[in-house]
Amino acid sequence: MRFSSGTRGRAVIGVAALVLLAGVLGGIAGALLRPGGSTASGPAAGAPCDVPGVAARVLPSLVTITVQGLGGAGTGSGSVLDRDGNLLTNDHVIAAAAGNGVITVDFARGQARVPARIVGRDPATDLAVIRVAPDAAQLTPIAVGESAALVVGQPVVAAGSPLGLTGTITSGTVSALNRYIDVGQGAAPATLVNAVQTDAAINPGNSGGPLTDCAGRQIGVSSAGAKTPGSEGGGSIGLNFAIPMDFARSVADQLIRTGRATHPGIGVLAVTVTAEMATATGLVRGALVQQVVPALGAAQAGIRAGDVITSVGGTPVNSVDQMLVAIRARNPGETVQLTYVRNGAQQSTNVAVSGT
């Protein structure tokens, strides 16, 4: 998205700062990259990708979103979810229009300046759904793929409106999976959980646009990308991130049904036991519980402050990020086994996952 106002990035990782894919005139919205998952730098796996064929399938479902409101003005991207007029995008694309703002949509292969309204927002995951009248445009829903089936090295295609250049198609590979990306602004927390990392060229204005497989099925929502410090107007450096479509679709379905979304949690506040902290304190690596929220799953299961969570559902965790990824892979109402260490002794318990 391209904004007329913004804030400078607040984190630098090595030589790159991670930013929301929002081009701005006054600065850029910052984010913090927390590593996880495996990486690949080689060529794409499998057969070559028919990018022109993908473009032909995806462009009828691609939209450019223009926003004007008290919070600023700008453009972003999105995709058509259904014939009822629901469009999927990032929350930061349409946030400026919350309240009395104006949103219009240009279809890459159709009508322009179609009025839209906000159906629901989920700032915590940077997802939103907007809607146009079903008879206001020719609606071609995008095919939806399974992000859970992605493998590192497979080819992918990104579509959107970088720097306002509508209907732009780029291609690359899945560079890594299961990244945890903090894209919160100030006091407003927001995270991309299990994010897909790709080297497909994604630039400001691609926010909210589809990342697809070579069959033209959407497997992600392009959301954040790395920039070298001081290059706020520069292009992609091949380090970009998308919200996995399995998760995005579940949030979108909730927003369409109720206007809001809930997320799985167990009711703990924790900090990461780093290698340095483990050496200094004798604690094991994991997520050190600092606070347990009364009446939620962890409290009911007997988890206490001072426990170090080391495994969730059989998945080892060495950090709070990995714990959150493992928990958010569950659904509210499920029960998950937690392994933790208390006073040097390993224990396990079943914890109810709640929606928050």
Active site (annotated) includes residue 126: yes
Query: 51, 132, 53: which is closest to 88 by C-alpha?
Result: 132
- For 1-5, 50-54, 67-71, 292-296, which range has the lowest pLDDT when averaged over its residues? 1-5
The pLDDT of residue 260: 92
223 an active-site residue?
no
Question: Looking at the predicted structure, is the pLDDT value of residue 99 above 70?
Answer: yes
Between 113 and 186, residue with greater pLDDT? 113
What superfamily would CATH give domain 154-226+235-258? Answer: Trypsin-like serine proteases (2.40.10.10)
23 has pLDDT over 80: no
Q: Look over the chain and give the mean of its residue pLDDT values, rounded to a whole number.
A: 84
Sign (positive or negative) of CA dihedral 28, 29, 33, 37: negative
Distances (CA, A) of 117 to 101, 104, 140: 9, 8, 19
According to CATH, the superfamily of the domain at 51-132 is Trypsin-like serine proteases (2.40.10.10)
What pLDDT sits at residue 268?
A: 93
User: According to the model, what pLDDT value does residue 6 have?
Assistant: 28
Q: What is the CATH number that goes with domain 264-355?
A: 2.30.42.10
269-318 tens-digit pLDDT: 888 898 999 999 999 999 999 999 999 999 999 999 999 999 999 999 99
Q: Which of 92, 161, 175, 307 is catalytic?
A: 92
Residue 62 clears pLDDT 60, i.e. is over it? yes
Q: Would you say residue 4 has pLDDT above 60?
A: no
Please report the pLDDT score of residue 167 as a whole number. Answer: 95
Residue 96 pLDDT class (50, 70, 90 cuts): very high
Choice among 106, 122, 126, 213 that is catalytic: 126
Q: Which amino acid is at 190?
A: A
Catalytic residue among 61, 161, 207, 311: 207
CATH topology identical between 51-132 and 154-226+235-258? yes
Q: Where are the domains of the chain?
A: 51-132, 154-226+235-258, 264-355
Q: Is 207 a catalytic residue?
A: yes
The CA distances from residue 136 to 39, 84, 88, in Å, are: 43, 11, 17
